[in-house]
Chain A
Amino acid sequence: MQYLPNILFVAALVAGIGFFVRNVKKLARNIKLGKKVDVTDNTSIRWKNMFKIALGQTKMVVRPIPGLLHVIVYLGFIIINIEVLEIIIDGILGTHRIFSPLGAVYDFLIASFEILALLVIIAVIVFWIRRNIIRLGRFIKPEMTGWPKTDANWILYIELILMVLFLTMNGADYQLQQMNVAHYTKAGAFPISQFFTPFFEGMSMPSLILIERSAWWLHILGILFFLNYLYYSKHLHILLAFPNTYFGKLDPKGKLNNLESVTQEVRLMMDPEADPYANTSGVEDGQEVPKFGASDVMDLTRVQLLNAYTCTECGRCTNECPANQTGKKLSPRKIMMDTRDRLEEVGKNLDANKGTFKNDEKQLLDDYITREELWACTSCNACVEACPVSIDPLSIIMDMRQYLVMEQSEAPSELNNMMGNIENNGAPWPFSQLDRLNWAKEN
Chain B
Amino acid sequence: MESELKVPTMAELSAAGQQPEILFWVGCAGSFDDRAKRITKAFVKILNRAQVSFAVLGTEESCTGDPAKRTGNEFLFQMQAVSNIEVLNAYEVKKVVTTCPHCFNTLKNEYPDLGGKYEVMHHTQFLEELIKEGKITLEGGKFKGKRITYHDPCYLGRANNVYKAPRDLIEKLDAELVEMKNCKKKGLCCGAGGAQMFKEPEKGDKDVNIERTEQALETKPDIIAAACPFCNTMMTDGVKNKEKEATIAVLDIAELIANAKDL
B59 nearest CB across to chain A (Å): 5
B206 adjacent to chain A (CB < 8 Å):
yes
Q: Which residues of B contact A327 (CB under 8 A)?
A: 203-206
A403 to B72, CA, bound (A): 7
Inter-chain contact B72/A378, CB cutoff 8 Å: no
Q: Is B83 an interface residue (CB 8 A)?
A: yes
Contacts of A265 in B (CB 8 A): 75
Known contacts A377-B194, A427-B32: A326-B206 contact under CB 8 Å: yes
B9, B28, B37, B205 — which one has the most chain A CB atoms within 10 A of its CB? B28
| Tier of interface size on chain B | 35 or more
* Residue from A253, A377, A381, A419 whose CB has the most chain B CB atoms within 10 Å: A419
Task: Tell me whether A414 and B74 are in contact (CB under 8 A).
Answer: no
Contact of A439 among B31, B59, B65 (CB under 8 A): B31
Q: Given the interface contacts A323-B202, A442-B37, does A419 sit within 8 Å of B80 by beta carbon?
A: no
Query: Do A270 and B200 touch across chains, with their CB atoms under 8 A apart?
Result: no
Which A residues are in CB contact (< 8 Å) with B197? 428
Known: A385-B158, A411-B72, A433-B59. A323 touches B208 (CB 8 A): yes
Complex Cα–Cα for A327 and B67 (A) = 24
The one of B30, B109, B161, B207 in contact with A255, judged by C-beta atoms closer than 8 angstroms, is B109
Contacts of A215 in B (CB 8 A): none
Contacts of A402-425 to chain B: CB distance below 8 A: 402-406, 411-412, 414-415, 417-419, 422-423
- What are the residues of chain A within 8 A of B203 when measuring CB–CB? 327-329, 372
* Residue A102 interfacial (CB < 8 Å): no
A263 to B75, CA, bound (A): 8
Decide if B76 is an interface residue (CB 8 Å cutoff): yes
Is there contact, CB below 8 Å, between B67 and A326?
no
Chain B residues closer than 8 Å to A378, beta-carbon distance: 154, 189, 191-194, 196, 208
A423 is contacted by which of B76, B86, B110, B200 (Cβ under 8 Å)? Answer: B76
Q: Mark A328-362, 1 if CB is under 8 A from B, else 0.
A: 11100000000000000000000000000000000
Query: Is B201 an interface position by the 8 A CB rule?
Result: yes
- Distance to closest chain A CB from B260 (angstroms): 21
* Contact present for B75 and A262 (CB under 8 Å): yes
A interface residue numbers (CB < 8 A to B): 251-256, 258-259, 262-263, 265-267, 269-270, 292-293, 320, 322-323, 325-330, 372, 375-382, 384-385, 398, 400-406, 411-412, 414-415, 417-419, 422-423, 426-429, 431, 433-440, 442-443
| 10 A/B residue pairs, CB under 8 Å, sorted by A | A372-B203, A380-B189, A401-B72, A402-B73, A403-B72, A418-B71, A418-B198, A433-B59, A437-B58, A442-B37
Q: Tell me the B residues contacting A by CB distance below 8 Å.
A: 2, 5, 7, 9, 26, 28, 30-33, 37, 40-41, 44, 56, 58-59, 61-63, 65, 67-76, 78-80, 82-83, 86, 105, 108-110, 113-114, 154-155, 158-161, 185-186, 188-189, 191-208, 210-212
